[in-house]
Structure formats: C-alpha cells, structure tokens
Amino acid sequence: MTFGERVLALRTEKGMTQDELALAVGYKSRSTIAKIESGERDPHQSMIAAIAKALDTTPAYLMGWEESEQSPDKDKNLSKIPYTEEGTVLVPLIGKVAAGYSCHAEDNISEYIRTDGSSLKTGYDYFWLEVKGDSMEPELHEKDLVLVQEQSELDAECYAVVTVDNEDGLVKQVQIDNTKITLKSINPYYPPRVFEKQDMNRIKIVGRVIEIKRRLV
C-alpha cells in the first residue's frame, strides 16, 4: 500500500471525512487530503506527523516502515522514511535555493539531518541550508546550518532566506515595510542592500530561519 492508501484506509475505518481530517491537521479544506490519498501530492514531514496523530497511528506505519521490517529489501526503503525515532524528524539539507527551483527536488538534497519535531509547525515545509560566505559573521559562520520554515511572507524583521533575481538563495536579516525591503548583513564590511518600490519585486521570500546549528568541520 502507498502512503495515500494507508491514510484513506485508516480514515475510512474511523469514519472520518476528508474535511474532518483536514481540520484535525490544520488545513482549511479537504483538497490537500484528497491529493495525498490519490497520490497527487507527497506529504512533507510535519504533515505526516500530524496525519499520524489524527489517525491514532505512527508515522512509520503510514510510510510503510513497519510493513517492511521483515522484507529483504528493507534497506532500500530506509531513505524514504523521514522519521528516525520518537520526537525527531529527518529534514533535508539542500544544496542551494534558486528562483524557480524546487528546494525539495531529489537531486537538490545532499543529506537528511535529525531535527526536533516539536519545533516544526503543521502546514509548513522545512529544510536545512548551509551558510556560505562571511557576510553574517559573527552571528553565522560559513558552513553553519540554518533550519528554514518555508513561507512567502514575513511579519517582522528576522533572519530569512531570500532570492534576488536569479541569484542563489541568501541568508540575511530581512526588514520589510510598505516602500522597501532591506537585506542586512551582520558583517559591517557588507553594506545593506535596499530595494525600493518596483525593485521590491526582485525579492522572493523563501522562508524564515528558525534554528541555527554550528557544524563541526
């Protein structure tokens, strides 16, 4: 059985409608649940956890892990399982963020990093990104990892990942008001980049940084 088929079977067994399951996992309509059950959409990590909780099961069961315990092909399936142990989630470390490029494309994922599931909110996708350069020194060092909550809008000044035109993604302190977007570097060697009026359209917000991890190299 696929992930979607397991969700459909358990939901039907519990007498839940798609609307009821959507509400239980924090979605406003059943369309997302319908796409998951039909196989049109792959669920992200936090969604899998929320669906498992709503259906009173485990993420491992929904992903087919428990059924493959005795399978000779078990090792081939492990890379598809985002859960490692209770309370933790394997979140992808991506190679780069670029305008128009899917962060979660298979060939853009270099590894998976064990992450505290309690820091992840239902309804969002997440990824880790490696910091490049020294523009955010001393707060962020090169090769530090930042956990990014994907979202297209920011409601306050914060560290965030953005793209400018067709450049790769940047980790900056982002300040937005009605007339301009300012990308600030912590390192004083790099002056702020200010985008006003029409130039604001050159900026794409990829997501907000919610955690920083110093990688030992």
Kindly tell me if the per-residue pLDDT of 109 is higher than 80.
no
Number of structural domains (the chain) is: 2
Kindly tell me if the per-residue pLDDT of 30 is higher than 50.
yes
Domain boundary pick from 83, 110, 144: 83
Mean pLDDT over residues 48-67, rounded? 77
Per-residue pLDDT of 176-213, as tens digits, reads 988 999 999 999 999 999 999 899 999 999 999 999 98
**pLDDT for the residue 52:** 85
Let me know whether 52 and 33 are in one domain: yes
Q: 146 and 129 in contact (C-beta within 8 Å)?
A: yes
pTM for the complete prediction?
0.60
Let me know whether 15 and 109 are in one domain: no
Per-residue pLDDT of 121-161, as tens digits, reads 888 889 999 888 889 998 888 888 999 999 989 988 999 99
- The domain in which residue 65 lies consists of 1-83
Let me know whether 7 and 112 are in one domain: no
The answer to which of 33-42, 76-85, 98-107, 115-124 has the lowest mean pLDDT is 76-85
Q: Grade residue 104 by pLDDT with cuts at 50, 70 and 90.
A: low
**pLDDT for the residue 101:** 56
Let me know whether 151 and 182 are in one domain: yes
Domain boundary pick from 32, 58, 83: 83
Let me know whether 70 and 143 are in one domain: no
Query: Measuring CA to CA, which residue among 48, 50, 71, 70 is closest to residue 60?
Result: 48
The answer to which of 71-85, 108-122, 143-157 has the lowest mean pLDDT is 71-85
What six digits make up the tokens of 28?
């406003």
Let me know whether 197 and 158 are in one domain: yes
Let me know whether 47 and 117 are in one domain: no
Mean pLDDT over residues 12-18, rounded? 90
Let me know whether 98 and 200 are in one domain: yes
Q: Give the Cα separation of 85 and 4 in Å (integer).
A: 22
